[in-house]
Structure 1
């Protein structure tokens, strides 16, 4: 009899638990159904009030963010915009000097001339092309080598052609090389080398030149123009190496690396000597000095401009997003800003040595075999190192 009571008690308990679970599920299901039909009204504004940044670049970026935000833009009228956002209505030629900056940047008159020049023409992103190679990528290359150079650097370009930048077929892969130039003007005390440059272009067919002042702060302009050029002339390139004309690049090692990259990783590939947790230099004696009146905040992770490697897919996305990022006077930082806008970050690779290698290893051929890039190297050193790596009998432990 006691056993029957125990069984009965157990059955009642299980039934009650199941009934309780059923009621909970039914109630939650009813709430979900009701919530689908119920309109939820926010209790406070979703968008924070726009307030201007005291730094000029940050303010220009705020304006671009506003222009490219369809939600805010569609629900705003000119009358309810803050005064500092009224620059969005400017319709003048963006490549004419913007003299408004002389009053918008509080210490404009005390800044070095390179800053004044950059600020005056910061809005301009379009310059005429002086030399082009429209058929250079007629056969889409596996690797496009794009080297930033200056008109007078004939010896560097020739050394690259004779060594690591030799166009053609390397490791059964097609390589195309182009040199990216601006206009070396008399304003910067450059001699007129235009006829020599025309001869060089006719002979080698690898010069791409635009009509903008080729200065350190305008390397960002060169970056933006190059991204446009890729889409117009070489959109089929699988990978792109972009670097300076004073670096040595182990093209053999780059090919080995690219052949080992999996297809999913190849799409988002962007590798180099990555710098993190950096910010603007405030010391006026430093080449990379940026005043507080121009920029506040830290820098996103970025790959040192001596050279980095990325996919053709990334190149297309960078070109699209670059119009949403205000020009910044340091080109590698600007590229990092564009990557962040895409939700990406460059990947650090120990094969990129933009700050050189230990002096005791610099004369050892094997020190370069596993590296992708070393900076800096003279034209003579480039040719010598390339001859080392090209020796079939070179064996390294």
Structure 2
């Protein structure tokens, strides 16, 4: 959940929605399943990703049959974060012998420069944009749109990771972890596990969720949103099951709810110490062993990566 927060000390509606979608929100659509006599009611809601459309796409990148797809939610105007990632952990497309691709997921921004984004995409072919409003409160929509893209555009990939734009990602260690014998290829979700986490009811918190949106006092086990890894069969299942799960604005806990409803639980990584949130200071030896760290700036990412990759043993 590391993103620029819009913390307010008053109640906000859970979603800001693109005006053309307002008329379909909360509409009950009745669909009749051919195999049963009973009509099945499905509630389509704001976070259901097929309410939205991709207005910039790069679906051909998956013709390479990637082993791993890194999906990075990022604000449209945050070019610095994208450039730092392109210079560091997304630079190599072949990692430990496996094809890895990195894509950036954007929504719409007020006053966003469409021409600049198109130019950037023409240069790098790594932007995907959908027509929801890009804001902290809409992270659940953004995450579900990522899942929809993976399910519809890249179903042959083995694994995917949702990874925030302010992350240090040791991509070699991640691929080595996924290559380990015994790592599941289906229904697998791993990262930094959050267990028995209470729902924040304080209205002045960035993570506030009302009882109306989420009545239970605590979340099911979920993986911290900074970076979680999953087998690529799950996105289609998440999109499908999300139809029946009321959306709320804590995207990683929402994915935890999807897992619970599907009857699955997130798995602890082989070495949980590799998924770190914060570190006190840079240490080359330590950074050579982890998979994730949350950083303070894009410049830090470039500096740490450059140091980590210099010749000589890190420890």
Do the structures match in fold with TM over 0.5? yes
Alignment of structure 1 residues 311-390 onto 2, 5 Å: 311-348=231-268, 349-354=272-277, 356-357=278-279, 359=280, 362-390=281-309
Aligned residue among 156, 161, 176 for 2:81: 156
Q: Does 1:140 align with 2:104?
A: no
Larger radius of gyration: 1
Q: Distance in 1 between matches of 2:200 and 2:304?
A: 34
CA contact (8 A) 1:157 1:245 kept: yes
CA contact (8 A) 2:194 2:222 kept: yes
Root-mean-square deviation over aligned CA pairs: 2.9
Which segments of 5 or more consecutive residues in structure 2 lack a partner in the other structure? 1-12, 15-25
Q: Distance in 1 between matches of 2:239 and 2:306?
A: 36
Aligned residue among 161, 184, 207 for 2:127: 207
TM (norm. structure 1) is 0.66
The alpha-carbon deviation at position 285 of structure 1 amounts to 1.4
Which segments of 5 or more consecutive residues in structure 1 lack a partner in the other structure? 1-55, 58-62, 78-87, 96-120, 186-190
Of the two structures, which has the highest relative contact order with CA contacts closer than 8 Å and spacing of 6 or more?
Answer: 2
Q: For 2:103, what is the secondary structure of its paired residue?
A: strand
TM (norm. structure 2) is 0.82
Q: 1:259 to 1:391 in 2, by over 3 A?
A: farther
Q: For 1:270-306, what per-residue CA distance to the aligned partner results, in whole angstroms no more than 9, with x for missing partners?
A: 1111111112211111101122233211211111111
Aligned residue among 199, 212, 226 for 1:306: 226
Q: Distance in 1 between matches of 2:152 and 2:100?
A: 18
The alpha-carbon deviation at position 75 of structure 1 amounts to 7.1
Q: For 1:31-69, what per-residue CA distance to the aligned partner results, in whole angstroms no more than 9, with x for missing partners?
A: xxxxxxxxxxxxxxxxxxxxxxxxx99xxxxx9xxx89x
Q: Hey, what does 1:106 align to over in structure 2? A: none
CA contact (8 A) 1:183 1:214 kept: yes
Q: 1:131 to 1:294 in 2, by over 3 A?
A: same
